[in-house]
Chains A and B, each alone.
Chain A
Amino acid sequence: MSAVTPLLKNQFFSHGTYECNDMPATRRFLVDFLGLDIIRPLKEAQYMWKGGPWSVVCVCVQDGEPKVQAPQNHFKLSVGSAAEVDAAHAAALAHKDEYGIKEIRDVETVDGQRSFKLWDLNNTWWEISTINQSYYDEIFAKGDARH
């Protein structure tokens, strides 16, 4: 940990961003499939969130396709159990065409955490996972690993 005075008076990590080009279809995917909360405060943008004060701003790019993202850049959703990951995976396979889901990766278990990734109608990757805040609490409490 550095003792340097930070350059930003950063109060809070407030938001990330996500592109779409079909607001209604995107909203149905985010709300009805992924279970996120959402509002539309601007004509060109919807704000989504779940479980915390930060938001992800969904910006409508009307003149083309949303940027094609790779799995390197994705959002992670926490669900309550491995069974819910499996159920979400089954639902993704069953409703793939309905929600414009383009790719669904296999479920995997790594270090006891079960998850899978899907590539959505807006070319963004999502990971549905059993990882939760307790998992991160423990890692931050342990501190850096030696490597």
Chain B
Amino acid sequence: MDLFNNLILGFSVCLTPVNLLYCFLGVALGTLIGVLPGIGPTATIGMLLPITFKLSPVTALIMLAGIYYGAQYGGSTTSILINLPGEASSVVTCLDGYAMARKGRAGPALAIAALGSFFAGCVATLIITMFAPPLAEFALKFGSAEYFSMMVLGLIAAVVLAHGSLLKAIAMVFLGLLLGLVGTDVNSGIRRFDFGISDLSDGIGFVAVAMGLFGYAEIIANLELKGKRAVITTDVHGLMPTRADLKASWKAVLRGTGLGAMLGILPGGGAVVSSFASYTLEKRVAADPSRFGKGAIEGVAGPESANNAAAQTSFIPLLTLGLPSNAVMALMLGAMTIHGIAPGPQVMNERPELFWSLITSMWIGNVMLVVLNLPLIGIWVRLLTVPYRLLFPAILLFCCIGVYSLNNSPFDVVLTAVFGLLGYIFIKVDCEPAPLLLGFILGPMMEEHLRRAMLLSRGDPTVFFTRPISLAMLVVSAFLLLLIIAPTIRRKREEAFQE
């Protein structure tokens, strides 16, 4: 029972007082920065790297990992309470989570988010334990053609994210695509749409767009109402989810976990897309999709589980192949290098105590997080009763600090404000920001992979159809497209539009 021995080894290393302490510090800090808008795990890990010099490599990695997946837990808090995505992957939670909070059901939303994340974290850790090497090999098979087809699938499914007019949703997706084009083109190195501003030459930051469109816009819209309606009902129905809630969400949690675990493995940012994908899936399989956007608990349970599962499985490419799948993993790679560990395929064999103690610490970290977060729900909900005139300046201040902390750049703060204004305009013309964000993320990636796939195949477009995984995804996309433009659906939409 090799697995059993490895787990014993892992637990024996990470159940020491020092490691437990740093694990707790990591997850607590992670939760905190997940709640604070803007400052994310990337900035925090970057700032804490020097401190880890003094620690042993295992302790350092346990703490840094704790910060990362802890931030996924914390990120949902502000999304639900004040429509401010604390983390890129919590954007989707804003949609139904905030709607639930407006109805006085912030408590159950937060609780389901925590519980779903815990379940997803445990399952994902189990997956890593048992399937890490073969999953990594599978991830290697994903080339540009496969990524492109996956993104085509994603964009078509994105249409489902919209609640209202189909045309407006498509328009927002295109606007997002255009915004995503700003920056340096990967394939030619040429700057596009940056108007000579150096700060734009690497593209518009996702955090600026998300916080502006969701958070700032919401604040502006609320201020316009000037207390004519209560921002959040102070009549809070209860802190814990009801039986009905649990019954409705357990399947969503399972689906979200599966989806997130799969997408997190793919090097190249499956994690952010995982929450979007889960939301889309939930809306598609729901008996009554019109509930979404108004406080459907599946819309919180699914994406939250997905993003936590993805956060855990995104360690797989790093630990088994030495390939970081996102910016945080790249920092972890840096941390490993500083401590003299050469990340790569050999780490599992040469330093098994490192590999297994990191994995077992994830389990322990998840338990700590759920113990930490559930009691805090009461405090967070009480925060909503603070008068809005005191609350919103504090929110704005934290946002600005958070955005600034990303690149030490005042330009980013101004950009967030610009997007806030834009988001307010969108609210006024009844256009939804979620499809824009998805277009913004997927568009540039699609272009990069399309051109690279063509470069690699020397201009042969059939490469998307001759590679099996790519072909499979394109077939599913075509099927989805058919479903969307099928007459019955169109009729239903027209009916809803007329209402």
Asked whether A and B interact, the reply is no
Interface residues, chain B, CB within 8 Å of chain A?
A: none
Interface residues, chain A, CB within 8 Å of chain B?
A: none
